[in-house]
Structure 1
Amino acid sequence: MTLQHEVSIVTDTRTPTGDEVVTQVSALVEETFARLKPVLAAAEALLAEPAGRTAEALHGIRPQVIEALGGLVIGAGFVSAPHVLTDQEFGFEWWTCAGAEGGEPEQLFISLVPDSPNFLDYTRQSWFTVPRDSGRRHINGPYVDYLCTDEYTLTFTVPVSCEGGFAGVVGADVYVREFERTVSRRLRSLGRHAALLNAQGRVIVSNSVRQATGSLVRDVDVPAWWTSGAEPCTTSAGATLRRCGDSPIALLVTR
Structure 2
Amino acid sequence: MKDTRTLVGDEIIDHVSTLVEDVFARLAAIRSGAEALLAEDSLRARDLARLRPEVVGALGELVTGAGFITAPNLLVDQELGFQWWTLTPGEEPVQLLISLDPASEHFLDYTRQPWFTIPRETAQRHITGPYVDYLCSDEYALTFTVPLNVRQGFAGVVGADVFVKDFERAVFPHLRDFRGRAALVNSQGRFIVSNNVGQATGALARELDVPAWWSAGAIPRAENGVVLRRCGETPIALVAEQAGSAAS
TM-score (norm 1): 0.91
Q: Distance in 2 between matches of 1:232 and 1:189?
A: 21
Q: Distance in 1 between matches of 2:68 and 2:153?
A: 16
Matches within 5 A, 1:29-178: 29-51=20-42, 53-98=43-88, 101-178=89-166
| SS class of match (1:154) | strand
Write the deviation string for residues 17-63 of structure 1: whole angstroms up to 9, x where unpaired. Answer: 60000000000010000000000010011011014x11000011110
Shift of 1:164: 3.8
8 A contact 1:196–1:203 mirrored in 2: yes
Q: Does 1:28 align with 2:16?
A: no
Which of 229, 238, 241 is equivalent to 1:251?
A: 238
Letter in 2 for 1:211: Q
Shift of 1:162: 2.6
Letter in 2 for 1:64: E
Identity between Structure 1 and Structure 2 (%): 60
Letter in 2 for 1:227: S
Shift of 1:15: 5.2
Q: Does 1:194 align with 2:182?
A: yes
| SS class of match (2:27) | helix
Per chain length, whose mean CA-contact separation is higher, i.e. which structure has more relative contact order (CA < 8 Å, sep 6+)?
Answer: 1
Q: Show the counterpart of 2:244.
A: none
8 A contact 1:17–1:240 mirrored in 2: no
Shift of 1:16: 6.6
| Structure 1 outlier segments of 4+, above 6 Å | none
The number of aligned residues is 238
Letter in 2 for 1:238: G
TM-score (norm 2): 0.93
Q: Distance in 2 between matches of 1:215 and 1:63?
A: 37
8 A contact 1:137–1:158 mirrored in 2: yes
Q: Distance in 2 between matches of 1:183 and 1:64?
A: 27
Q: Distance in 1 between matches of 2:234 and 2:111?
A: 23
Q: Distance in 1 between matches of 2:32 and 2:50?
A: 12
Shift of 1:227: 1.0
8 A contact 2:8–2:177 mirrored in 1: no
Write the deviation string for residues 80-107 of structure 1: whole angstroms up to 9, x where unpaired. Answer: 1100000000000000003xx3321000
Q: Show the counterpart of 1:218.
A: 206
Q: Distance in 1 between matches of 2:59 and 2:6?
A: 37
8 A contact 1:48–1:163 mirrored in 2: no
Write the deviation string for residues 139-176 of structure 1: whole angstroms up to 9, x where unpaired. Answer: 00000000000000000000112334101000000000
Structure 1 unaligned blocks of 5 or more:
1-13
Q: Distance in 2 between matches of 1:32 and 1:229?
A: 24
8 A contact 1:74–1:172 mirrored in 2: yes
